[in-house]
Structure 1
């Protein structure tokens, strides 16, 4: 996408926390330009399958990759639509093969020249975030730009 002036990067995974973050930014900065980012972490998906006792395949099928890609694009579009309803000038973006969610967020923020990164406190990570540290915490500590972490809704 290249550098864009005064663009907010909003991490979006469909969770209530991510939706609350979008609503808050819309109230705080109405009319701001935003990129709503959805990230798919292939390794985490494989780990989740293994812990659920599902059979692992050596390589994911192209059909499965396309299905996951389509679902992630739809999720990003849903986030951008919510951001638009919240008063932001939003566009969706996906990272479909991330090494880690937090590093993708930081990398995309650098790529687009984001003036601010916005994330909720907790997402869909569940047990993974307890084991690996929360995404928002890692973004906060590794980003070289301002980060706004919006607490969970009451």
Structure 2
């Protein structure tokens, strides 16, 4: 049994780890950070083929590994045993990589934070957590942003 925690280093992702650690029966966890080469992130339209330059992805991959390691440490501190970091290069949308890794691991649960986007922002920027929820074939826990107070 393995829980998959999507982690991008944001305050919302940190809140999701803290929530899972405090409320979910401890089980091994994989803390996943999905990274994309810079040209993939800026390509338009979204279906455009990524065209990274030679050597371009090294720094991005190292940063993703650092972020995943930070998330794994937070998960261990939150009481989740055997939290392992994993950085994965996305071959498409971030949500699809999360769903694919969850399937590969046969994760019992996917945990993700939510940026709390609504209305036009949600339509323009999309929602990774919403897409994970609607495309995953397993339970998904979406933790809302911490309250401002």
TM-score normalised by L of structure 1: 0.80
Stretch moving more, 32-41 or 128-137:
128-137
Where in structure 1 are there 5+ consecutive unaligned residues?
1-5, 49-57
Contact 1:129 1:135 in 2 (8 A): no
Deviation readout 1:52-93 (Å, 9 max, x if unpaired) = xxxxxx64231x311111111001000001001101120001
Unaligned stretches of 5+ in structure 2?
Answer: 45-50
Match of 1:137 in 2: 130
> How big is the shift at 1:22?
0.1
Report the counterpart of residue 48 of structure 2 in structure 1.
none
Q: How many residues align structurally?
A: 136
Deviations 1:76-129 (A, max 9, x none): 000001001101120001112331100000000000000000000129xxx985
Answer 1 or 2: higher relative contact order, Cα 8 Å, separation at least 6.
1
Aligned to 1:3: none
Alignment match of 1:36 (pick from 31, 34, 42): 31
Task: Give the alignment's Cα RMSD to 1 decimal.
Answer: 2.2
1:92 to 85, 89, 104: 85
Alignment of 1:140-151 (within 5 A): 140-151=133-144
Whole-Å Cα distance in 1 between the matches of residues 33 and 122 of structure 2? 17
The DSSP-based 3-state class of the residue aligned with 1:98 is coil
Q: Aligned match of 1:24 in 19, 28, 33? A: 19
Residue 57 of structure 2 corresponds to residue 61 of structure 1: no
> Stretches of 4+ moved more than 3 A in 1?
127-130
